[in-house]
């Protein structure tokens, strides 16, 4: 199956702003979304308590930046997303919680040339599973590394696979059962079909090893439940 294009992904999120603005009902297909949101932001605060600049990649409606601002006040926030309607909502929500700058950039993280060259925290919530081949992953992680200040962190909450085919099959069956418990067989099929079409996740192990290869000094696993995880690296 041919995966979704960047244009197709953008169009889907353009039409989903309201759902992604509500953590309680908007992220029901994402197991432990609120736990992971708490963990990656709290970990970021503890790693870099003097942070001033954050980059929120695939920011959606701004949930990750808002949570980060509840832990470190008045950050300068750079918000990146493919979807302009998402960015507009995120800027509105985030601007209400910080007295410092809120910059929005519409585009693909792989192609953006940032004015600000260094950030203290990079948050990537439910976005990196859209990366495709090994080169894509490595190039993007190198870019993140280069954008971080020394001592800064890249924190990820995302869909992940397993290294072993048999375990991967079992994990995704469990996830399918979870979805069916929420919305029945039709909901299970709907979610798994769009994951098959749109997403190309990698294992947590793959991503942590890639961070170390690129030069991240430390990596941390914060949480994992079936095919969702929260983890990151420190420069």
Mean pLDDT (whole number) for 56-65: 95
Start-to-end Cα distance in the chain: 37
DSSP codes, 80-97: EES-HHHHHHHHHHHHTT
pLDDT at site 7: 77
> Does residue 183 sit within a domain?
no
Q: Reply yes or no on whether the pLDDT at 34 is more than 80.
A: yes
CATH number of the domain enclosing 17:
3.40.50.150
> Does residue 57 sit within a domain?
yes
Cβ atoms of 79 and 103 closer than 8 Å: yes
- pLDDT (tens digit per residue) in 99-142: 999 999 999 999 999 887 899 999 999 999 999 999 999 999 99
pLDDT at site 8: 74
- pLDDT (tens digit per residue) in 193-226: 989 998 999 999 999 999 999 999 999 999 999 9
Give the alpha-carbon dihedral of 90, 91, 96, 97, to 10 degrees. 70
> Does residue 31 sit within a domain?
yes
The most distant pair of C-alpha atoms in the chain lies apart, rounded to whole Å, by 50
Q: How far apart are CA 116 and CA 54, in angstroms?
A: 10
Mean pLDDT (whole number) for 45-62: 97
Strand partners, 121: 54, 153
Task: Name the 3-class secondary structure at 30.
Answer: coil
Distances in Å between the Cα of 23 and the Cα atoms of 27, 31, 46, 60, 85 are 6, 12, 23, 11, 17
> Does residue 179 sit within a domain?
no
Q: Reply yes or no on whether the pLDDT at 230 is more than 80.
A: yes
Task: Name the 3-class secondary structure at 69.
Answer: helix
> Does residue 176 sit within a domain?
no
> Does residue 169 sit within a domain?
no
Mean pLDDT of the chain: 92
Task: Give me the domain span that covers residue 145.
Answer: 6-162+201-234
Structure pTM? 0.93
> Does residue 167 sit within a domain?
no
pLDDT at site 4: 73
pLDDT at site 100: 96
> Does residue 180 sit within a domain?
no
| Strands in 44-176 per DSSP E | 53-57, 76-81, 102-106, 119-125, 148-159
Q: Residue 127 gets which letter from DSSP?
A: -
- pLDDT (tens digit per residue) in 157-206: 999 999 999 999 999 999 999 999 999 999 999 999 989 998 999 999 99
Q: Reply yes or no on whether the pLDDT at 26 is more than 70.
A: no
pLDDT at site 12: 67
What is the share, in percent, of the chain residues with pLDDT greater than 70? 93
**Total domains in the fold of the chain:** 1
- pLDDT (tens digit per residue) in 72-104: 999 999 999 999 999 999 999 999 999 999 999
Q: Reply yes or no on whether the pLDDT at 25 is more than 50.
A: no
Q: Of the candidates 34, 42, 109, which has an alpha carbon nearest to the alpha carbon of residue 78?
A: 109
DSSP codes, 160-199: -B-SSHHHHHHHHHHHHHHHHHHHHHHHHHHHHHHHHHH-
Cβ atoms of 112 and 47 closer than 8 Å: no
Q: How far apart are CA 107 and CA 80, in angstroms?
A: 7
Cβ atoms of 220 and 42 closer than 8 Å: no
């Amino acid at each position: 199956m041919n995966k979704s294009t960047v244009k197709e992904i953008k169009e889907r999120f353009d039409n989903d702003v309201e759902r992604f603005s509500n953590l309680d009902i908007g992220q029901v297909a994402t197991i432990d979304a609120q736990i992971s949101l708490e963990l990656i932001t709290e970990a970021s605060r503890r790693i870099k308590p003097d942070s001033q600049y954050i980059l929120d990649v695939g920011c959606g409606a701004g949930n990750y930046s808002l949570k980060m601002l509840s832990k470190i006040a008045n950050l300068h926030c750079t918000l990146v997303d493919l979807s302009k309607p998402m960015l507009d909502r995120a800027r509105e929500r985030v601007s209400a919680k910080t007295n410092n700058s809120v910059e929005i950039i519409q585009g693909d993280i792989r192609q953006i040339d940032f004015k600000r060259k260094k950030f203290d925290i990079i948050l990537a919530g439910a976005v990196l599973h859209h990366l495709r081949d090994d080169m894509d992953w490595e190039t993007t992680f190198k870019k993140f590394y280069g954008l971080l200040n020394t001592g800064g962190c890249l924190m990820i909450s995302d869909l992940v696979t397993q290294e072993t085919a048999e375990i991967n099959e079992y994990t995704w069956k469990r996830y399918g059962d979870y979805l069916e418990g929420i919305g029945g067989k039709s909901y299970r099929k709907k979610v798994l079909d769009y994951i098959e079409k749109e997403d190309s996740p990698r294992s947590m192990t793959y991503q942590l090893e890639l961070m170390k290869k690129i030069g991240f000094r430390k990596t941390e696993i914060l949480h994992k439940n079936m095919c969702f995880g929260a983890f990151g690296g420190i420069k």
